[in-house]
């Protein structure tokens, strides 16, 4: 099974070479990776590679097979490009690409700093909120340029896993 995965301006070819239980062998642009992959709960996964553990959360966003992928430190906007996605994208061609990006907390923590205000324009990659969890601070950045339409947290507030923190509306002209 093969996919193209778009992350920012890069498109990588990802291929599932084999799967035996939680053990996956995948190739990214021809380079092979042995992974231990286990679902934690709906939309959250544990991935172990080279004895390092990564927890990721996939949150569907508006669009064809688009997701916000939250890790402990970062949020990425990712698009899966397979035959179905190409077909759906062609059917939707000509419709406006407008929507919103919701930045959520991947794990419980405490809001250290909110760096934006409602109505503020933000650039792709700009840090909008910082949370502390497990004695570390993590910055959450805007995946795309847009306007902050809603701030759902305050500095000092505790947040739960998957709690919405900031909503950014975007459009491409």
In the sheet that holds 164-171, the strands lie side by side as: 98-104, 164-171, 146-151, 121-122
pLDDT of residue 148: 95
pLDDT at 20 over 60: yes
pLDDT at 161 over 90: no
Question: Which is more confidently placed, 66 or 64?
Answer: 66
Indicate the pLDDT class of residue 28, thresholds 50, 70 and 90: very high
Positive/negative CA dihedral, 133, 138, 144, 145:
positive
Stretch 165-170: mean pLDDT: 90
Distance set, CA 147 to CA 61, 63, 77, 130, 151 (Å): 16, 18, 16, 18, 11
In Å, the largest CA–CA distance within the chain is 49
Which of 95, 129, 157 is where one domain is finished? Answer: 95
Which of 36, 62, 95 is where one domain is finished? Answer: 95
If asked whether residues 24 and 48 sit together in one domain, one would say yes
Average pLDDT, the chain: 84
If asked whether residues 102 and 91 sit together in one domain, one would say no
pLDDT of residue 91: 45
If asked whether residues 89 and 7 sit together in one domain, one would say yes
If asked whether residues 101 and 163 sit together in one domain, one would say yes
Residues composing the chain = 173
- CATH label of the domain that carries residue 54: 3.30.700.30
If asked whether residues 49 and 74 sit together in one domain, one would say yes
If asked whether residues 9 and 60 sit together in one domain, one would say yes
What total number of domains does the chain contain? Answer: 2
Other CB atoms closer than 10 Å to residue 106's CB: what's the count? 26
- How far is the C-alpha of 128 from the C-alpha of 144, rounded, in Å? 12
42 closest CA partner among 28, 25, 59: 59
DSSP string, 66-88: EEEEE-SS-EEEEEEE-HHHHHH
Q: Which tens digits make up the pLDDT trace of 81-135?
A: 766 666 555 544 444 445 678 888 877 899 999 999 999 999 888 899 999 987 7
If asked whether residues 173 and 163 sit together in one domain, one would say yes
pLDDT of residue 88: 54
- CATH label of the domain that carries residue 160: 2.40.50.100
If asked whether residues 14 and 89 sit together in one domain, one would say yes
Q: Which residues constitute the domain of residue 105?
A: 97-173
- How far is the C-alpha of 173 from the C-alpha of 164, rounded, in Å? 27
If asked whether residues 19 and 58 sit together in one domain, one would say yes
Stretch 12-29: mean pLDDT: 92
Which of 49, 65, 95 is where one domain is finished? Answer: 95
pTM of the shown model? 0.49
If asked whether residues 64 and 74 sit together in one domain, one would say yes
């Amino acid at each position: 099974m093969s996919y193209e995965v778009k992350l920012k301006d890069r498109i990588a070819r990802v291929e599932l070479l084999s799967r035996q239980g939680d053990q996956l062998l995948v190739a990214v642009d021809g380079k092979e990776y042995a992974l231990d992959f286990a679902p934690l709960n709906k939309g959250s996964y544990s991935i172990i590679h080279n004895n390092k553990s990564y927890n990721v959360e996939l949150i569907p966003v508006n669009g064809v097979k688009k997701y916000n992928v939250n890790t402990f430190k970062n949020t990425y906007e990712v698009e899966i490009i397979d035959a179905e996605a190409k077909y759906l994208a062609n059917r939707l061609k000509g419709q406006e690409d407008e929507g919103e990006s919701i930045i959520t907390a991947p794990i419980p923590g405490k809001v250290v700093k909110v760096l934006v205000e409602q109505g503020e324009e933000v650039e792709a990659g700009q840090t909008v909120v910082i949370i502390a969890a497990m004695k570390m601070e993590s910055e959450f950045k805007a995946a795309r340029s847009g306007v902050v339409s809603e701030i759902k947290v305050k500095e000092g507030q505790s947040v739960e896993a998957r709690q919405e923190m900031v909503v950014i509306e975007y459009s491409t002209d």
